[in-house]
Amino acid sequence: MFKALDPLLHSELRLAVMSLLIGVEEADFVFLRNKTGATAGNLSVQIDKLQRAGYISISKGFNGKMPRTTCCITDEGRSAFAAYVEALRGYIGK
């Protein structure tokens, strides 16, 4: 029987964000936008959904006078990502 895939992570953009964050300590909004090719508005909505789920934490600050939003994956997010990858392996037989 196939394991259910986390619908929150099954979105292409949210999965891309989580995939980027899993390998770094933190990433700022501009980095995530550039790497994913998403619009600022869409990325903002998707990282908000990940934050509300407890998968990422967001901190806001300034770099000089420029606002800076930084995202970090949480322990809950790491666990959810690992479970998603494991479930996906069941679909591809690996």
* Tens-digit pLDDT profile for residues 1-27: 899 999 999 999 999 999 999 999 999
Return the pLDDT at 94. Answer: 66
Task: Name the residue among 6, 15, 66, 45 with its Cα closest to residue 58.
Answer: 45
Domains of the chain in start order, with CATH, are: 12-89 (1.10.10.10)
The segments of the chain whose pLDDT lies below 50 read: none
Return the pLDDT at 90. Answer: 92
In the block, residue with structure tokens 């996906």 = 88
Provide the 8-state DSSP code for 27.
Answer: E
Angle of CA points 63, 29, 80, to nearest 5°: 130
- Beta carbons of 28 and 66 less than 8 angstroms apart: no
Return the pLDDT at 93. Answer: 85
